[in-house]
Amino acid sequence: MSKDITLNVNGIDHHVNIQGNETLLKVLRDKLGLTAAKEGCGAGECGACAVIYNGSPASSCLILAVEAEGVEILTLEGITPKDHLHPIQQAFIDKGAVQCGFCTPGMIITTYSLLKSNPDPSEDEIKKAISGNLCRCTGYVQIIEAIREAARRLKRVKGRRK
Ligand code: FES
Ligand code: FES
């Protein structure tokens, strides 16, 4: 059965008609044209579909769109400034940590959430945070270094704003 709902994504209310069994991931991608979140496993295991959901990273493939009404949702599109890259994205590029288009968006989302709550994470904290972002193609060394570098850059940006 279809239903009209309002989803707050990246600070904007979107009125959409959805099917009761449609996932948030499907609605973001197919109805709102926000394709940064990807469908990898479709089962909550790979992190490719990560979004910030009420302030925490979540697998949008496991959330029904109907459940997301009234929730603040942030996608990679909402994090990325219009005219330049976010410091996290730039750090991933500079440290050679960009992998494929499936796993990288989720890793950036996870990093964004980690550094919001913990601006100076230890290596163990970084490893724990990204443990839900799977990529079998890498050893994660550059990704961890990129997250450290992003933390340094964000601290500098914050320092300049004071
Ligand atoms: S697609 Fe959602 S966790 Fe893999
Ligand atoms: S899953 Fe993206 S490079 Fe391995």
Q: Averaged in consecutive runs of 10 residues, what is the pLDDT profile of the chain (162 residues)?
A: 96 97 98 98 98 97 97 98 96 95 96 97 97 90 97 89 72
82, 44 contact by CB (below 8 A)? no
Q: What is the pTM of this model?
A: 0.94
Starting at the earlier edge strand, list the strands of the sheet with 72-74.
12-19, 2-9, 72-74, 50-53, 56-59
Give me the pLDDT at residue 157, please. 85
Mutate which of 23, 26, 59 to test ligand 1's pocket (most atoms within 8 Å of Cβ)? Answer: 59
Give me the pLDDT at residue 129, please. 97
Q: Which domains does the chain have, with CATH numbers?
A: 2-79 (3.10.20.30), 87-161 (1.10.150.120)
Query: Is the CB of 135 within 6 Å of ligand 2?
Result: yes
Nearest Cα neighbor of 76 from 100, 107, 97, 44 is 107
